[in-house]
């Protein structure tokens, strides 16, 4: 069972067994990921979007470390219900929204929703099941773009056996980190007038 590593809820386990097909990010990878994100000041106050939520470990970790709000998207209705229970048990119900649905469908809804576009997600996690193709993720980024803040940071987690994602035109590549079989790619829309200033 995954646990929250640090922050206000550090050490708390994430209630309930993973839903069918969920593949929680390991504690080691999550710790390395959030160390990098906090070094970039990308977590505190963030508006998080997790489009393949699973257990919710990534979004819940961000909330524990000071993110403002998180929208978790999960295709399996039973897992989505568990995410709502988890948020309530952790005292995060007022900072978490859960939507049951396919990532691409919810992304399209957010892209045309005036309120979602005005708020704009600042930190996005894409940790899909292995059977989601890289091509599908590249298309998803294009669909999602209108719902992102101008300076949004996107984290893509993939198997090392998958084809690396190619960021769309107008997006910056903020680097890649490999941890065993897990590859993390970082990027986001380029702010108009600025170059790619990745570390």
The answer as to whether 67 is a domain residue is yes
Cα-flanking dihedrals φ and ψ of residue 31, to 5°? -65, -45
The domain tally of the chain equals: 1
User: Is residue 16 scored above 70 in pLDDT?
Assistant: no
User: Is residue 86 scored above 60 in pLDDT?
Assistant: yes
User: Is residue 10 scored above 80 in pLDDT?
Assistant: yes
Instruction: Confirm if 62 and 123 have CB atoms less than 8 A apart.
Output: yes
Give the pLDDT of residue 25. 78
Q: Which residues pair with 173 in a beta bridge?
A: 187
* Average pLDDT of the segment spanning 109-122: 91
Domain range for residue 47? 27-189
CA distance 2 to 12: 9
* Average pLDDT of the segment spanning 22-40: 88
The answer as to whether 77 is a domain residue is yes
Give the pLDDT of residue 21. 53
CA distance 48 to 50: 7
Instruction: Confirm if 86 and 111 have CB atoms less than 8 A apart.
Output: no
The answer as to whether 88 is a domain residue is yes
pLDDT digits (tens, 9 = 90+) for 88-107: 999 999 999 999 999 999 99
The answer as to whether 196 is a domain residue is no
The answer as to whether 14 is a domain residue is no
User: Is residue 6 scored above 80 in pLDDT?
Assistant: yes
Joined tokens for residue 58: 């990534």
The answer as to whether 3 is a domain residue is no
> Within 13 Å and on the Cβ side, how many CA atoms surround 98?
24
CA distance 161 to 151: 29
The answer as to whether 70 is a domain residue is yes
pLDDT digits (tens, 9 = 90+) for 116-159: 888 999 999 999 998 899 999 999 999 999 999 999 999 999 99
User: Is residue 27 scored above 90 in pLDDT?
Assistant: no
CA distance 6 to 16: 20
Q: Which CATH number does the domain housing residue 96 bear?
A: 3.40.50.150
Share of the chain above pLDDT 70, in %: 91
Which band of pLDDT confidence, cut at 50, 70 and 90, is reported for residue 19?
A: very low
Give the pLDDT of residue 193. 54
Question: What average pLDDT does the structure give for the chain?
Answer: 91
The answer as to whether 42 is a domain residue is yes
Give the pLDDT of residue 197. 47
């Amino acid at each position: 069972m995954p646990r929250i590593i640090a922050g206000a809820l550090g050490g708390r386990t994430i209630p309930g067994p993973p839903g069918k097909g969920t593949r929680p990010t390991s504690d080691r990878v999550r710790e390395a990921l959030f160390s990098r994100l906090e070094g970039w000041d990308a977590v505190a106050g963030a508006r998080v979007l997790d489009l393949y939520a699973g257990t919710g470990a990534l979004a819940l970790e961000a909330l524990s470390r000071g993110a403002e709000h998180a929208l978790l998207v999960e295709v399996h209705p039973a897992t989505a219900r568990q995410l709502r229970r988890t948020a309530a048990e952790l005292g995060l119900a007022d900072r978490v929204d859960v939507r049951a649905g396919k990532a691409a469908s919810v992304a399209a809804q957010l892209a045309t929703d005036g309120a979602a576009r005005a708020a704009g997600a600042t930190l996005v996690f894409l940790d899909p099941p292995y059977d989601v193709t890289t091509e599908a993720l590249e298309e998803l980024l294009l669909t999602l773009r209108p719902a992102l803040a101008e300076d949004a940071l996107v984290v893509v987690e993939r198997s090392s056996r998958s084809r690396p994602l190619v960021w769309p035109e107008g997006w910056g590549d903020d680097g890649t980190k490999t941890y065993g079989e897990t590859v993390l790619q970082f990027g986001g829309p380029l702010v108009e007038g600025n170059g790619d200033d990745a570390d």
